[in-house]
Amino acid sequence: MLPHLNSSFAEEVNRTLELPLHKRMPRLEARQYISIYEADAARNDLLLEIAKLDFNSLQKLHRTELCDLSRWWKAIDFATKLSFARDRLVECYFWILGVHSEPKYSISRKYMTKIIAIASVTDDIYDVYGTLDELKLFTNAIERY
């Protein structure tokens, strides 16, 4: 049936067949759908403008959160103190963004990004840096904490 559909609807069906909508990140999918809807001749221009404004305002919130998180990350200075650790702050944020994408979860996104970033550094300590004896002591300290 795909070759018999109009181009914008065919593109939408093709994307859904690749990966179902419920398995995608809602906000990324919204951005994709805005482009598809924009090409539709039967579109509602007011609805399209509201969708774009909503997407852009949420994107601005995410940028602000990332700026706050970047300041925090630079303040704890893991890059120089633990040079072996991977710098994965944006990746950690994006991961949480897939779980909590709505604006009301802003505080949760920040806290969870911090927790995951610290867990990532801890993982690097275990995988890359520590000797077996040091890691036993480190594990004891974490368990006591």
Tens of pLDDT along 33-62? 898 888 888 889 999 999 999 999 999 999
Which has the closest alpha carbon to 37: 141, 45, 113? 45
DSSP three-state, residue 130? coil
DSSP three-state, residue 118? helix
- CA distance to 14, 74, 117, 121, per residue, from 1 (Å): 11, 53, 46, 49
Q: Which residue has the higher pLDDT, 96 or 84?
A: 96
Residue 12 has pLDDT above 90, yes or no: no
Which has the closest alpha carbon to 56: 30, 85, 21? 30
Q: What is the model's pTM?
A: 0.77
What would the pLDDT profile of 93-111 be if each residue is shown by its tens digit?
Answer: 999 998 888 899 999 999 9
Residue 48 CB partners (closer than 8 Å, separation 6+): 34, 37, 38
Domain residue extents for the chain: 1-43, 60-144
Give, rounded to a whole angstrom, the gap between the first and last alpha carbons of the chain: 60
**Mean pLDDT, residues 110-123 taken together:** 93
d(CA 39, CA 135): 57
Residue 79 has pLDDT above 90, yes or no: no
What would the pLDDT profile of 61-72 be if each residue is shown by its tens digit?
Answer: 999 999 999 999
Q: Per-residue confidence at 14, pLDDT binned at 50, 70, 90?
A: confident
